[in-house]
Chains A and B, each alone.
Chain A
Amino acid sequence: MKKGVAITGMGIISSIGNSVEENFDSLLNEKLAITRIEHITTVHADIIKVGEIKKTNSELVDDLKLTAENNFSRTAMIGAYAAKQAVKNAGITSINEYRTGLISATSVGGMDMTEKHYYDYFTNPELVKYISCHDGGDVADKIAEELGIKGLVTTISTACSSAANSIMLGARLIKSGKLDRVIVGGTDALAKFTINGFKTLMILSDDYNKPFDNNRKGLNLGEAAAYLVLESDEVVEKQNKKVLARVSGYGNANDAFHQTASSENGDGAYLAMKKAFEVSGLKPSDIDYINVHGTATPNNDLSEGRAILRIYEDEKVPDFSSTKPFTGHTLAAAAAIEAVYSVLAIQNGVVYPNLNFETPMEEFDLKPHTSLKNKNIEHVLSNSFGFGGNCSTLIFSKS
């Protein structure tokens, strides 16, 4: 087994908590946070349930001490909120002391602001600033500015695997010696854009999402942001830093099937997991817990389940669960919040329950773990699969 890249800090905000501790507490105590939507006026309000962060935009402005004239989108605000926590958690006081970068994932960017001002900004020049924060890169720039990062800043947008790819890119930049330290993760706020988009695709559930259940009806959207601090072994040693866990494997593969669906046998998912095992030098049987993508759409869970069965062939599939019943599917942030949950699983030796599960799927014999379980966890595999067939797998290991 290879050593992997050190994780030295984490920060998170999601519907189940405004900090790492609050999130972990919710996971332990089955406090899911799927509710009716409060912050967005939408015709679907009575039909859909979402994982919404209950802080309002003005509360976030206060938390971040932004000026009244700011043009932060909600995505940028929750991103900055989580990234600041991560930097603090890593004990970083002088951000540019080492070659430090930021790789931030998002899929909606500043869409919330664009939706608000789209029909008025042509005639009202004061509103243009809210449109100029639309692109994904603006979110990363704003977070970098809040953190004072002067090094590499870049954005990854590969739909629901975005944050996995940002963690993967960060780990590779550390491994290749291009950076000493990198803040990686993702952020996505709820927006009409995603609500209507997923609604049109008919993959939103009108109930609580039930991953890997035969009667699953689709996903609940969520909003969240999470960031990890990755540091080179040199920096870790020099500063005698505590390593929370390590990124030991990663893989990204192309499913080559459809713009918005996964192939029936999960070819891309299978390849992503296979590559991650190759990078880590681990065998499938070394994994103690799989945090599945498990969106609870008919298509994902079938495709992912089949891919897992292919990876494990005749071996026993380890305990697995989806944490999306707690948080909803947080799109470009999903792999980042699930990375935080994976590290917490390793640190605390817990398998999270796959809530809402009742009936096994008829296509195969795979049952997620449905109650909290304490056991030693050395390695966690976390899947994230995006539209466009962009499939990613991360493996986290005990340091």
Chain B
Amino acid sequence: MTQNKTYIHDYITIQNNEIVLNGTSVFKIDPTDFADFSKQAYRNFEIQYPKFFKMDALSKLAFLGSELLLSPITVADKENNIALILANKSSSLDTDVKYQESLSNKEDYFPSPAVFVYTLPNICLGEISIRHQLKSENSFFIFDAFNPEFMSNYSNILLNSNKADVVLCGWVEFFNDNYKAFLCTISSEENLKHKNETINTLYNK
């Protein structure tokens, strides 16, 4: 396998009521909860995708990040071979806990299939795939902390083995209204915008 150099193209960070795209703040509001923040962000970017409102918080977070990175580079009616490699620490625990609460009382339980389908972290990959019609490779990992070496390696293997033209990778963590998303797109196409950066330095910015 040839080891072609790979390049970071765009990156996005979502945390503390703010969205930062390629180092520039593109959306910021006064402190509020994530439900409100995500709704305002959706409106701000004039996203037209009603399914967004059915998603759980983790999927909304991953969706918003990927929306700003992928919408400019995906082409309708064409195969977009963009692999998705995401990770976090709390899996889908935020939704798991809500679901568990809905069935914890033996006499009065009310589990909802609409909540249940989000009790897996990789569902957020499915939501992104459905949105952008990606039939490409995807995987979701659970790590104690952001693992840039793993992410770089995995992305490079996918690109160098021609399994993907572009990799969207990153971290989407959500639990109890604490959240952070960091996503970036990587490909073999030369891009010197972030030549002195790695996904680790960008994550920590």
A-to-B contact residues, CB < 8 Å = 119, 197, 200-201, 253-260, 267-268, 271, 388-389
Contacts and interface: CB of A to CB of B under 8 A. Distances in A.
B15 interface: no
Interface residues of B, number: 14
Interface string B131-149: 0011110100000000000
A201 B113 contact: yes
B113 A254 contact: no
A260 B134 contact: no
B117 interface: yes
Contact of B113 (A200, A268, A271): A200
Contacts of B135: 253-256, 267-268, 271
A197 B133 CA distance: 27
A256 B113 contact: no
B129 A389 contact: yes
A256 B123 contact: no
Contacts of B117: 259-260
A197 B135 CA distance: 26
A119 B106 CA distance: 7
A257 B106 CA distance: 35
B126 A259 contact: yes
Contacts of B1: none
B130 interface: yes
A254 B123 contact: no
A256 B129 contact: yes
Which 4 A-B residue pairings sit nearest by Cβ, starting from the closest?
Answer: A256-B129, A259-B117, A254-B135, A119-B106
Nearest to A267: B135
Interface string B114-135: 0011000011001001100111
A254 B113 CA distance: 22
A260 B133 CA distance: 16
Contact of A388 (B116, B126, B133, B136): B126
A347 B106 CA distance: 51
Given A267-B135, A271-B135, A258 B123 contact: no
A259 B113 CA distance: 11
B34 to A, nearest CB: 22
A259 B123 contact: yes
Interface of B: 106, 113, 116-117, 122-123, 126, 129-130, 133-136, 138
A254 B138 contact: yes
A254 B134 contact: yes
Residue of B116, B123, B134, B135 ringed by the most chain A CB atoms within 10 A:
B135
B135 to A, nearest CB: 5
Contacts of B126: 256, 259, 388-389
B16 to A, nearest CB: 30
A29 to B, nearest CB: 39
B121 to A, nearest CB: 12
Contacts of A253: 135
A388 B113 contact: no
A369 B193 CA distance: 60
Nearest to A259: B117
A42 to B, nearest CB: 15
B130 A257 contact: yes
B130 A256 contact: yes
A260 B114 CA distance: 11
Contacts of A197: 113, 116
Contacts of A119: 106
A100 to B, nearest CB: 25
B67 to A, nearest CB: 16
Contacts of B130: 256-258
A254 B106 contact: no
B85 to A, nearest CB: 14
A310 to B, nearest CB: 14
Contacts of A388: 122-123, 126
A216 B135 CA distance: 29
A256 B134 contact: yes
Contacts of A268: 135
B97 to A, nearest CB: 15
A201 B138 CA distance: 26
Residue picked from B130, B133, B136, B138, most chain A C-beta under 10 Å: B130
A389 B123 CA distance: 11
B141 to A, nearest CB: 14
Contacts of B134: 254, 256
A257 B135 CA distance: 9
B99 to A, nearest CB: 13
A119 B107 CA distance: 11
A271 B133 CA distance: 13
Nearest to A390: B126
A389 B133 CA distance: 12
Nearest to B117: A259
A389 B122 CA distance: 12
Contacts of B129: 254, 256, 389
A201 B116 CA distance: 12
Nearest to B106: A119
A200 B115 CA distance: 13
Contacts of A200: 113
Contacts of B133: 256
